[in-house]
């Protein structure tokens, strides 16, 4: 198993975003128990439009290092109108399981979402 470093995580999230996106805060990565080759990372940032307007967001990323040592990143959830909370990060056999809570600002809506991904499809040990 190839371990992810914090600098690899930050670099990959930076590459994932376009030039009109600014990331202000990258929270500490959340690794599943006993694993260091994949993690969940929460980021806060904004999109800058041509007119100078900014729209703020929170994003949850899955960052992993595959069997060949290549680092990859996938945005799992984006919120333009609320907060995302990572409740649980775990691995069950060949499945990555992430539990998220989401609350909006404009309407009192609370959502719980469980995301399951295949480690084999992502080429993760």
Average pLDDT over residues 98-123: 85
Please give the pLDDT value at position 51: 81
Q: What is the tens place of the pLDDT at every residue in 43-100?
A: 999 988 878 788 899 999 999 999 899 999 999 999 988 899 999 999 988 999 999 9
What lies within 8 Å, CB to CB, of 125 at 6+ separation is 1, 2, 37, 67, 119
Q: What is the pTM of this model?
A: 0.89
Domain limits, the chain:
6-122
Cα gap 102→49, rounded to integer Å: 25
Bridge partner residues of 92 (DSSP): 95
What lies within 8 Å, CB to CB, of 99 at 6+ separation is 86, 87, 88, 89, 112, 113, 114, 115
Is pLDDT of 107 > 70?
Answer: no
Please give the pLDDT value at position 104: 80
Angle at alpha carbon of residue 86, lines to 48 and 90, rounded to 5°:
130
**What does the mean pLDDT of the chain come to?**
89
């Amino acid at each position: 198993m190839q371990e992810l470093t914090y600098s690899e995580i930050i670099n990959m999230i930076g590459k994932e975003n376009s030039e009109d996106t600014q990331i202000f805060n990258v929270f500490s990565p959340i690794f599943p128990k006993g694993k260091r080759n994949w993690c969940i990372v929460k980021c806060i940032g904004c999109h800058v439009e041509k007119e100078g307007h900014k729209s703020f967001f929170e994003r949850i990323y899955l960052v992993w290092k595959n069997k060949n040592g290549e680092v990859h990143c996938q945005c799992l959830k984006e919120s333009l109108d609320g907060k995302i909370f990572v409740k649980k990060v775990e691995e069950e056999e060949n499945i990555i399981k992430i539990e998220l809570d989401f609350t909006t600002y404009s309407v009192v809506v609370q959502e719980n979402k469980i995301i399951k991904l295949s480690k084999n499809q992502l080429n993760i040990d």
